[in-house]
Amino acid sequence: MDWRPIHRWLGLVAGTIALILGITGAVLAVDSVRDAWQSVPAAADLPVAALAQRVSATISGAEEIRRLPSGDIVVYAFDAGRAMASRVDPADGRVLGPYRPSGLSHWFKKLHRSFLLGDAGRLGAAAVALGMLLLSVSGLMLMLRRMGGWRRLADRMRGSLVQRLHAATGRAVLVVLLLSSATALYMSAATFDLVVLDAGSEPDVVSVQIAQAELPAGRLPLLQGLRVGDLRRLGFPSAADPEDTWKVTTAQGQGWVDRYSGQTLAWQDATAAQRIHDWAMLLHTGEGAWVWALVLGPAGASIPLFWVTGLILWRQGRLPRPRLADNSPSAQADVLIFVASETGSTWGFAQTLHDALVRSGHRVHTNSLEHFQVGTAARRVFLLAATYGEGQPPAHAARALERIARTPVTAAQVAVLGFGDRQYPAFCAFAEALDAALGAQGWSTLLPLTRIHQQSAQEFARWGQDLARALGEPLELAYRPRLPPTTELQLLSRQDYPGGADQPAVILRFGLPAQRWRDRLAGQGLARFVAGDLLGVLAPGSGAPRYYSLASGRRDGFVEICVRRLPGGVCSGFLHGLQPGDSIQAFVRPNPGFALDGERRPVVLIGAGTGVAPLVGFIRANARRTPMHLYFGARDPARDFYFGAELERWLGEKRLASLRTVFSRVANGGGYVQDALHRDAGRVRALLARGAAVRVCGSRPMAQGVARVLDDILGTLRLSVAQLKAKGRYAEDVF
Amino acid sequence: MSRPLMTTVAAACALALPAAAHSRPVTIATTLENYGGDGAYLAVYLTDAQGAYARTLWVAGGKAKYYTHLSGWNRLSSGDSKRLQGVTGASVGQGRTLRVTADLADALIDAGYEIRIDAAVEDMRDSPAEIRVPLSAANAGKPHAGRQYIQSFSFELQ
């Protein structure tokens, strides 16, 4: 079942109206807390008889005692032609003052219950409650899919700030919203008599005058046995009607008592429906349970947050599927392209491939994967597949594997291209499943499965070169991602290193331009960035950005990156040519899985070469002196010990708890960084056992080597790198 | 400060009482106070000389689950299965006036019968004996104030 459209449309329609319910609900929860704090409640075991006796003594003409949900005792009286309502101290029956319920609270309550529109509004509010219930359920289903099942529900959230805000808030308040909407529906059903709360007709009972004198309230056996804590209301017998009786209503039921004999004339137990209603009322309003009201209030206030973030996510997800020029009919095409994409980003790559093949004279048919079908004219078939959450296919392609299994195999050659993010445990798992299924069916392979990390245009272009060779024809795949607006940054200073392997490196520090307040508010431009985020740099004349890990955050007041010059590298060459005063065009791309979350647990930082840059940024930002331990692998202290002086200084300042350096090209230098970890196994194990977070930055082989060593160390703790990754404790930034 | 007469209701009642040679219409006008709450539930009914329930003239307010708050009427009329037949309408907003017309047998007038009104408002106190006025020719046209919610009550005999 695809919950996404349900969640989206309910959110847009019911969610918008629920704004009113959420805000007013939060206000009413504050009322509940305030009422509870101001109340003067009775002792828990005070008998109702004692309370009635005290009230009779202090208030003449008392007609009814009510115990408000807050615990306050209110007495209604009619004395000398005047109707009075008083708050009473149950300890002695003393009048505390007149009882005047707040008109403003009443107005908010009406707005919450019926939008001030009477019964039509009540029906509308009930419909919105139903919408909220379905929103909560569909949200839970989507979250389970996103997180990869119940067991991972408590894991760390990934994704953009807006996604995390939406999902993490949902995870926190889901149960409360489910309860609130379910109880609202029950109470609405009672309001519209779909649920009958009372026990039927009242008993026909009268007091029988056997003596002149009435029994005082304190001597009525039924009232002696009832506790004020359970009391809802107690009706005094009317002075004008000698046959009238006492009538008491408690959580357990209602009873009628003869005013002369004190006999219990009748007792009706509260119906099950009434008891459920009482619980629904308590859970929905928090009246009389201020701790719960403190939970309800923020849950109500979270609805505007859901609405805003949901709206942003909806707009972001509404990326239009590209219009494909020259999309040949399926039966005539010699090239078929099938796309599986949750958010639409993979379609951009499909379009690039489609256009390039059309330019080379092919007849290309591109479609989404659920339409997988291979005609006799087709000679090549491409599958471009994104993976979602725990290896699931995008929703629209959920049945693609079954469809492929049913499709007759032809002579066409297939190639699968997977899109995903290495931060996730199941990187490109769906593409792997597709590739395996096609292989098992017996399709011949044009190119082996290729995995594209974080929509990398470079990796896509490399695959295009492989494809050109396989097809034996020229083909260039120049994917132009939609780039965020860039900011001009001016170089303040540069620090040059000879670098290892004859590749000089430079630390570039750029000034932070003044921010317009509007951008700062909207979080645009360079409004927010932390060490570990990525700086996208556009070299002049180049449409594809190169990304560099940031060694500084916004609070440092500058933008710092460490760039190794690659042979033939356009962007690294451009950056190496910069002199102080020169400018670049750049933007920030968040790298949320990698940045540290600010918890006070130890951190093990492992970096090699220029990969130390984001780790340096973490240490620089470590004003709280979280114990950070850096393992830094370089080649030669004289050539590529980047940030060496700063690291020494931070050691002294305790920003950095310990520093282990190894130099692979120096005699007795200690080898590679994974060798240092292996030697330090005991110490690293102790840190990991204490819950240390791990951040690794460097080349892919280095990261793989580190993961192997850490898996060995973690084995004795019955843990693995994969488990730590799933919890967000372990993250890599590899290049 | 009563608003214009908004609620005019005519209740044509079949006579529940035997041997009524003649009957005459009685018009009852009830104007509510501005008590600062939602619409009031009102039960207008007759009791006989012994205080026993005789007949329901009008019930304002549509939700049966609130009828327990009109406690006097609810208790006395519980044996009358037709108590709501043709005599219900919407609750009456504060400051507004409810007009009810009923055909009453001549024999009921000046015979110890009483017109009673029970009133209740959501989240406010119940007022089971808001009005108790003897159904006598002498009382006709005289305004009476209620205890809590009714600013003025009067009935006219025609």
In this predicted model, what pLDDT tens digit does every residue of A449-498 receive, in sequence order?
999 987 888 899 999 999 999 999 998 888 877 677 788 899 999 999 98
Same domain flag for A33 and A50: no
Based on C-alpha coordinates, what's the Rg of chain B? 14
pLDDT band at A321 (very low <50, low <70, confident <90, very high): low
Report whether pLDDT(A394) > 80. Answer: no
Query: What global pTM score does this model have?
Result: 0.64
A155 located within any domain? yes
Note the Cα A268 to chain centre separation in Å. 48
Minimal CA–CA distance to B155: which of B136, B140, B145, B144?
Answer: B140
Distance from CA of A121 to the nearest CA of B (A): 14
Cα–Cα distance, A513 to A273 (Å, whole number):
65
pLDDT value at residue A399:
76
Residue pairs between chains A and B whose CB atoms are closer than 8 Å: 47
ipTM over 0.85: no
Amino acid at A13: V
pLDDT value at residue A151:
79
pLDDT value at residue A490:
93
Count of structural domains within chain B: 1
pLDDT value at residue A607:
94
Residue A519 or A329, more confident = A329
pLDDT band at A103 (very low <50, low <70, confident <90, very high): confident
Determine the 3-state secondary structure of A491 from DSSP: strand
pLDDT value at residue A201:
73
pLDDT in tens, B120-155: 998 888 888 899 999 999 999 999 999 889 999 999
pLDDT band at A525 (very low <50, low <70, confident <90, very high): low
Tell me what the mean pLDDT of segment A29-54 comes to. 92
A461-465, A514-518, B19-23: least confident range: B19-23
A248 located within any domain? yes
- Of the ranges A199-213, A433-447, A517-531, which is most confident? A433-447
Residue B46 or A502, more confident = B46
Same domain flag for A352 and A234: no
A595 located within any domain? no
pLDDT value at residue B78:
81
pLDDT value at residue A292:
94
Nearest residue of A to residue B93, measured between CA atoms: A118
Among B78, B128, B129, beta carbon nearest to A204? B78
pLDDT value at residue B17:
46
CB contact under 8 A, A247 and B38: no
- Here the tokens at position B109 are 């007038």
Range of the domain at B17: 7-157
pLDDT value at residue A395:
66
Count of structural domains within chain A: 5
Using CA atoms of A539, A542, A546, A551 in order, give the dihedral in degrees to the nearest 10: 20
Report whether pLDDT(A298) > 80. Answer: yes
CB contact under 8 A, B128 and A238: yes
A463 located within any domain? yes
pLDDT value at residue A253:
94
Q: Above pLDDT 90, what percent of chain A?
A: 57
| Distance from the first to the final alpha carbon of chain B | 28
Same domain flag for A558 and A698: no
B110 located within any domain? yes
pLDDT band at B72 (very low <50, low <70, confident <90, very high): confident
Same domain flag for A462 and A387: yes
For residue A103, list chain B residues with Cβ-Cβ distance below 8 A: 36
Q: Where are the beta strands (DSSP E) in B5-142?
A: 7-10, 23-32, 40-47, 53-60, 88-89, 97-105, 114-121, 126-134
pLDDT band at B1 (very low <50, low <70, confident <90, very high): very low
Report whether pLDDT(A23) > 90. Answer: yes
Residue A381 or A540, more confident = A381
Same domain flag for A364 and A394: yes
Tell me what the mean pLDDT of segment A302-307 comes to. 92
B1 located within any domain? no
Same domain flag for A223 and A79: yes
pLDDT value at residue A504:
92
pLDDT value at residue A300:
93
**H or E element at residue A705:** helix A700-715
Cα–Cα distance, A721 to A626 (Å, whole number):
22
Mean pLDDT score across all residues of chain A: 88
pLDDT band at B21 (very low <50, low <70, confident <90, very high): low
Cα–Cα distance, A390 to A570 (Å, whole number):
37
Among B74, B127, B129, beta carbon nearest to A240? B129
Same domain flag for A558 and A636: no
Same domain flag for A621 and A661: yes
B2 located within any domain? no
- Here the tokens at position B15 are 């006579």
Strand partners, A78: A83
Residue A348 or A278, more confident = A278
pLDDT value at residue A520:
56
Note the Cα A435 to chain centre separation in Å. 32
Tell me what the mean pLDDT of segment A385-389 comes to. 76
A325 located within any domain? no
The domain that holds B136 is classified in CATH as 2.60.40
What sign has the CA pseudo-torsion B103, B106, B110, B113?
negative
Among A78, A193, A241, beta carbon nearest to B147? A78
Residue A393 or A550, more confident = A550
Amino acid at A629: H
Among A191, A202, A241, beta carbon nearest to B78? A202
A239 located within any domain? yes
pLDDT value at residue A516:
65
CB contact under 8 A, B148 and A243: no
Same domain flag for A202 and A179: no
Amino acid at A306: F
A275 located within any domain? no
The domain that holds A644 is classified in CATH as 3.40.50.80
Neighbouring C-alpha atoms within 13 Å toward the C-beta of A282 = 15
pLDDT value at residue B14:
39
Sequence-distant (≥ 6) Cβ neighbours of residue B133 within 8 angstroms: B114, B115, B139, B144, B153, B155
Same domain flag for A69 and A119: no
Cα–Cα distance, A394 to A385 (Å, whole number):
8
pLDDT in tens, B89-102: 999 999 999 999 99
Same domain flag for A164 and A68: no
A415 located within any domain? yes
Report whether pLDDT(B8) > 60. Answer: no
pLDDT value at residue A519:
59
Determine the 3-state secondary structure of A395 from DSSP: helix
Range of the domain at A10: 3-37+105-186+301-315
Residues of A with CB under 8 A from a CB of B: 63-64, 66, 76, 78, 83, 85, 101, 103, 106, 109-110, 119, 190-191, 193, 196-198, 201-202, 204, 235, 238, 240-241, 243, 247
B108 located within any domain? yes
pLDDT in tens, A581-638: 999 999 888 776 788 876 778 999 999 999 999 999 999 999 889 999 999 999 998 8
Same domain flag for A541 and A511: yes
